[in-house]
Structure 1
C-alpha cells in the first residue's frame, strides 16, 4: 500500500487516529462526567479564607498524612455517614492554570481521614490547640507542631483569637498564644470539610463487609436497649474530654467527678450536648455536638450512661425516653 511508503501520509493518518480516539476516549467521557456529577444541592463553594486555608494545608504537607475519602467499607463509618461519591468533589477547582490539586483525596492514613471533620470536630478552640501542640489534644499523636502559625503576645487585643493551652504547655510562655490569620484560615478550611446530605429520594451506597454483632435479648425502653456508648463517646467526645475523662486543664473540662455528669437531674447535661456550652474564659467553647452530628435520643443516652458510669463515676443511668422529652422541649424553645 502506498500509504506505508509515504511517511507524511502515514504520520498524518496516525495523528488523525490519535485525535479521534482522544475525543471518544477522553474528551466526551469527561464532558459526560461534568454533566452527570454536578455539585450536590446543599454544597457550597470555598470562601476566600477557606481557599487560603486549603493552600496552607497543601504547603504544610497535610495531604501526605490525611485522606479525604470515605470508602464503602464498614470500617470507614468512623469518618462519614455514607460512602463518598464523585459529586462530593464536584465543586473542587484547579488552584491555577498550572497547578491542579483540586481534590486532596490523599493516599494513606497516618492521621485520621478528614472528609467529615467539619461535622465531627467543629470546635475552633480544639483545632487551634491541635495545630499549635497536637499532643496537648491527643496524647499519642505523631503530628508535628505548627507553632509558626501562631504568635506570642503579652497584651493581646480584643480581635486576637487566643489559644486555650493546658497549664502544662504554658511553661516559658510570656503572655498568650494567639492564632495568626493563616492558622484561622486553615481551621476554616478544615471546618468546611463536611459530607452533604444526598437529595431526597437518593439512595446512597451501603457500607460493605459489615461486622456482625451477636444479638442479645434486651428489654425495650430499658437502659440496656441502647447503642455502644463507649464507641459513641470515642467518636463524638473523646478528642476534647480525653479517653480517661479528665479533659485538659485550661482547655477542656473533666467529666470524671463532674457535678453535671453525676447529677440525677439530666436536663442541663442534655442541653449542653444539644446546644453546646460557653464557659467563658475558664475553658474552650463546646460546640453543639448533639445537634451538629444529628445524634438520636438513644445515642445521647448511651453517651451519657458511659460518662455516668466510667472513670470512677457512679451515677444513675438514663433512658432514651427521658432524653427525648428534654430534646423535644429544647426544639420548642428555638
Structure 2
C-alpha cells in the first residue's frame, strides 16, 4: 500500500485515528459524567482550610497508604455505612489549570481507609498528636512521623495551637510543640472526610459477600464478647493501654468518676454518642453509634474498664445496659 510508503500520510492517519479514539473513549464520556453525575444534596464543599489541607495531603504522599473508597463488599463495612458512589466524587474539581482532579481514591490500604474518618476520629488533638508521632497514640503503628509540620518554641502565644506531647517523645522537653498552618489545614481536611448520607427514602445498596449467619450452636459459643479486645481496637488509641489517657488531649479512665461512678446513663451516653464538653480535652467520637454496638458489646467494654488499671467498680449487666440504650434511643428520637 502506498500509505505505508509515505510517512506524512501514515503519521497523519495515525494522528487522526488517535484523536478520534481520544474523543470517543476519554473526552465525551468524561463530559457525559460531569453532566449527569452530581454531588449528593447534602454534600458540603471543602472549606478554604480543608482545601489547603488536601494539597498538604497530596504533597506528603498520604494516598500511597490511605484509600478513600468504600468498596461494596462486606469487609469494607468498618470504613463506612455504605459503599461509595460516583456522586461522592462529583464535587472534585481540577487542582489548578495544569493539574487534573485529585480524587485520592487510592488503591492500597497499608493504613486505614479515610472515607469517613471525620466521623470515626473527629478530635483535632488526637489527629495532631498522631501526625507528630503516630506511636504516641498507636504503639503498633507503622505510619511515618511528620515532625516538619510542627515547630518547637520556648513560649506559646495566644495564637499558637500547642500540642501535648509526652516528654519521652521530645529531644528537648523544655520546649513546647506548636502546630504549623500546614498541620492545622491537614487536620481540617481529615475532619472534613465524612460520608454524605443518602437522601431520605433512598435504600442503601447491599454489600456483597455478606458473612454467613452463624448456627445456633456457634452463636452460643461466641456469645461472650471480649471487652478487652473491643477496648484495644476502638478505645486504646486515645485512652492508652494503661488507661491513663494523654494529659491535655484525652481523659484518663483509670480512677475516672465516670467509669467507676453510679451514673451508668452518662457513661453509656458518652460511649454511644461521644462527648465534647470538656475544654481541657478533645472531642470524643460517637464510637458506639458509629460501630453499631449492641448492649452486649457496650456491657463488655464497660465491665472491662470498670475492672482494669486499679478500678474496682461493680460489674453491670446486659439487661441494665439494654434499658439505658432504649431510653437514649427514645431520647434522641424525641429531639
TM-score of the alignment, normalized to the shorter chain, above 0.5: yes
* CA offsets 1:84-120 (integer angstroms, 9 cap, x no match): 2222211122212222251112232222222211111
Partner of 1:30: 30
* CA offsets 1:16-75 (integer angstroms, 9 cap, x no match): 554444333333322332234321222112121111111111212222222222223333
Please tell me whether residue 287 in structure 1 is matched to residue 284 in structure 2. Answer: yes
1:270–1:209 Cα change, 3 Å: closer
In the superposition, the TM-score normalised over structure 1's length comes to 0.81
User: Any gaps of 5 or more consecutive residues in structure 1?
Assistant: none
Bigger shift: residues 2-11 or 299-308: 2-11
Partner of 2:102: 102
In the superposition, the TM-score normalised over structure 2's length comes to 0.81
Partner of 1:75: 75
Partner of 1:269: 267
CA contact (8 A) 2:164 2:247 kept: no
1:7–1:275 Cα change, 3 Å: closer
Q: Summarize the alignment of residues 194-213 of structure 1 with structure 2, pairs less than 5 Å apart.
A: 194-199=194-199, 200-208=201-209, 210=211, 212-213=213-214
CA distance in 2, matches of 1:64, 1:155: 36
CA distance in 1, matches of 2:264, 2:129: 30
CA contact (8 A) 1:73 1:209 kept: yes
CA distance in 1, matches of 2:17, 2:147: 56
Please tell me whether residue 190 in structure 1 is matched to residue 190 in structure 2. Answer: yes
User: Any gaps of 5 or more consecutive residues in structure 2?
Assistant: none
CA contact (8 A) 1:236 1:289 kept: no
**Once the 2 structures are TM-superposed, how far is the Cα of residue 226 of structure 1 from its aligned partner?**
9.1
CA distance in 2, matches of 1:85, 1:226: 36
SS in 2 for 1:253: coil
Once superposed, what is the RMSD of the aligned Cα atoms? 3.5
**Once the 2 structures are TM-superposed, how far is the Cα of residue 191 of structure 1 from its aligned partner?**
0.7
CA contact (8 A) 2:125 2:282 kept: yes
1:262–1:286 Cα change, 3 Å: same
* CA offsets 1:107-164 (integer angstroms, 9 cap, x no match): 3222222221111100000001111121111112222221221122333222322112
**Once the 2 structures are TM-superposed, how far is the Cα of residue 190 of structure 1 from its aligned partner?**
0.7
Bigger shift: residues 318-327 or 116-125: 318-327
1:234–1:84 Cα change, 3 Å: farther
CA distance in 1, matches of 2:101, 2:294: 41
CA distance in 1, matches of 2:102, 2:79: 21
Partner of 1:160: 160
